[in-house]
Chain A
């Protein structure tokens, strides 16, 4: 992968940077690109509490913060910015106020690429609210200073609505790093991926199939209108 000036990741929850995207992040840092991660909330209202359960509603935020820091360490993300918003409430905040926070960081780190969810295709309301705010922030910059926006579209109908992905990253070379980052989110990973782990352990064929899916990550370039 080509070295970028700086990559800015804009996500609302710990684990958004890892599930489905950790390979791309690892490729960037491996290429020597500095990466800044904006994490909007601490996923305080997640329903996954570990498997078996080890977190509770009140202990979860601190646990997820630590997990996020571990994932950042695995991925080589040296600059983590927490916005202190609250899980599930991002869409009810003033988008311009949220954009202010993102804009300040964009002006500071001057990213050439901004990675977030693809607006309106993030499924989780927090995903769509934060990507919307990121677009507002980017639009405030003079055209020549704007980073390119790479969006993850995770809706089922994404390809019908916005077409095939513009960017496909083969993350084979950093698959171990990707899995390490995903597993760092222990409270979430074990609930969400325990079946996948069981299948991988069961047969080499199943492992091959699962790893094949994990080896490719997709992004769509979001066109920023004037």
Chain B
């Protein structure tokens, strides 16, 4: 794969699709600002230049939707994206919006781009599904997966440059590999770890003060403390165990990566709640082991914050 699409932000991916569609349909493809989009990321009205072919191009209103994921190796037929029964899958949520646009005569053709793999069978099935649900002809629906996206970008090599896929602008992305090893080991040893009463000689600041410095909201901080503080001794004991030396090294490399990425990628206005929730989502999306131990992963992130391995300034005290 030429581009690490999963490392892009949603906005960057949308931008890429808009530029690509300007090549396929016409220069007047219109992208929209961030916010409620009513089921459209971009729109084109008129006769397409190239799509689906020069001899029989689409004519009318084409609605373009980009669905980006941070996950690796995802595909269109995963239940969180498409499932006939599910009411919460990405497509299930999209269908009413398409229907509405169709009813208001604001949609003749529909294009869906995603950085997921798209197999032939899934393509036919999903196309048929959208067609029957929204009353759009099958030939007016186009689904584009990862493989086809790669081909398009090879055909139009200037598109990624136009979309300004600058790695410096990419969102806060961290690697979950080491953390998943720690969580797996922790999950194995959790019940066998003895409780050790510890009184570490560290200068502490109050939790409230720490939250203020890090811009964490009062409600979020309270909820975090209520749920996860009682669990932190497990992690402390686990990391202090001499037999877990290698895991401690891994933990240290994880917090180093998290902390440095947070410092560089965090915008001034972002609350720490958002940063933590974003990290959690990212980790769950990317790693099946972390997804299998959601609570432990959250406890681990809280521990990192609590002991000031991530976030700013000294360790937070209990009250």
Judge: A and B partners, yes or no. Answer: no
